[in-house]
Amino acid sequence: MPRQKNAQNSRLAAAAHATSPDETTTMRLDKWLWCARFFKTRGLAVEEIGKGRVMVNGQLAKAAREVRAGDLLSIRQGTALREVRIEALSNYRGPAPVAQQLYAETPASQARREELAKQRQLAPEPADELRHGRPTKRDRRQIDQLRQQPTLDARWSAIHGGGD
C-alpha cells in the first residue's frame, strides 16, 4: 500500500510542478519534448533533434535550444508531421494527461494526421498482408516439384517442334 500511495503522491507532485509561462520562461528543447512525452527518453529526443526531425518556429534546432511558451514546434514521428504550440513548461515528466496540457496541436496538423490515417485504412501496407514469412521446408519441396513439372510451353513446343 505505501508504494501505491508514494506513486500517487509523485504524480500529483509532478502535476503541481507544471509551471505557467510566467514562472519558468525557458527550458531546453530536448527536456521539454521528454516532459511532454513525445519521446521516451531524453537521449531519443536528442537523437531525433540531431537528425533534423524537430524544428522550432520553422528553423532547425539543436537539443540545447531554449524554448518558451508560444513557440511552434514541427515534430516528425514516422510518417506523421505534428505541429504543436507550447502552452506551458514543466521541469518534471508527469502522467500523460498532465503532459498533454503542455501543448496544443494545430488544427491543420490534426487534419493532416486524420487524412493520413484514412489513407492507411484505404491502402494498407502490402507487407502487412504477409502472414507466414519464409516458406517452410515442406513448402519449398512443393515449389520445387511444381518447377520440375513440364510447363505448358514445353509441351506445346514438343508438339509444334516437329519431332518425328
- Residue 68 cell numbers, joined: 518558451
Say what the pLDDT of residue 119 is: 87
Highest mean pLDDT among 7-16, 103-112, 129-138, 140-149: 103-112
Confidence of residue 135 (pLDDT cuts 50, 70, 90): confident
Confidence of residue 97 (pLDDT cuts 50, 70, 90): very high
What's this model's pTM, rounded to 2 decimal places? 0.63
User: Which residue bears the cell 506523421?
Assistant: 80
Confidence of residue 160 (pLDDT cuts 50, 70, 90): low
The ranges assigned to domains in the chain are 8-124
pLDDT tens track for 144-156: 988 887 766 655 5
CATH number of 8-124: 3.10.290.10
Whether residue 129 is predicted with pLDDT greater than 70 in this model: the reply is no
Say what the pLDDT of residue 26 is: 92
| Inter-CA distances, 27 with 44, 74, 95, 131, Å | 17, 17, 19, 46
The average pLDDT across 91-119 equals: 93
Q: Is residue 140 within 8 Å of 134, Cβ to Cβ?
A: no
Confidence of residue 19 (pLDDT cuts 50, 70, 90): very low
